[in-house]
Structure 1
């Protein structure tokens, strides 16, 4: 199976790493700092067993942090205690996009971290939900194939 590793960009990677540790229990595994520029050129951390990379903005390379509140990408983080981790992230500075609710495919909520990245915290999906059950639950709003 292939692996996709997200590579995030932040305006202040050092502070973002502190946020991810406080909000999600992330563990920093690597950091390359440019002392002359005072920037983080590359860092890595793990969260719930997944590896994530992050660096400060690099305008010369066309790499910019997302605009807070507007992101074209969401990071889906599957956790056992959605409510607890969601509350922890909000207490650490995240902004609620959609509160935690139950849905046909499980329990989850959406938030933005202070660096513009959108996170979907979700509980493991129930393994026994069929496509026909999901279709009944969403009604005519979507066609599930």
Structure 2
């Protein structure tokens, strides 16, 4: 038996692992550019970067974002796998969610740096100020600031009212 903990003590949680390809505007991107973007837009701190042989691609990088971790790497379809960056898939099926002190300011800063607003910030029935963006590398982020606590009963009633109005209606509800 090994004395090594099979689950590192500082990583008992799910860590998103993002594959980075070209920017959504079609210009070259890659993990190195994404690391710089996440640091500038969200305050991420790079703690580890391992380059692939030749030094042209990031094989693995680790960023601290708030109290969590984010792993990322360049796409490597040339190694026989399927391309898996949002640029290769024509989108992403995952949204990364982040709580921040000021949802509006965070989204505004990201937009000035090339992000696309998917949903402008608004006050939501579940008690958060909430909006969403697509970063320049095609990854979706929901950004929220918790504004008030809502009881499960009030949240259920507000959700029922929202769904009764239909998808094209205002989604906040106080």
* TM-score, normalising length: structure 1: 0.88
Q: List alignment gaps of at least 5 residues for structure 1.
A: none
**Displacement of 1:17:** 0.6
Structure (1/2) with the larger strand percentage? 1
**Displacement of 1:79:** 1.0
Deviates most, 117-126 or 107-116 = 117-126
RMSD: 2.1
**Displacement of 1:69:** 6.8
Closer/same/farther in 2, CA of residues 81 and 104 from structure 1, 3 Å limit:
same
**Alignment check: 8 A CA contact 1:69 1:112 kept:** no
Alignment match, 1:115: 137
Deviates most, 64-73 or 80-89 = 64-73
State how far apart, in whole Å, the 1-side matches of 2:31 and 2:122 are.
31
Q: List alignment gaps of at least 5 residues for structure 2.
A: 1-10, 22-29, 165-174
Runs ≥4 in structure 1, deviation > 6 angstroms?
none
**Equivalent pairs, count:** 141
State how far apart, in whole Å, the 2-side matches of 1:113 and 1:97 are.
10
1:4-23 residue pairs with structure 2 within 5 A? 4-11=14-21, 12-23=30-41
Q: Max radius of gyration: which structure? A: 2
RCO comparison, higher one (Cα < 8 Å, 6+): 1
Q: Which SS does the other structure have where 2:146 is aligned? A: coil
State how far apart, in whole Å, the 1-side matches of 2:155 and 2:116 are.
29
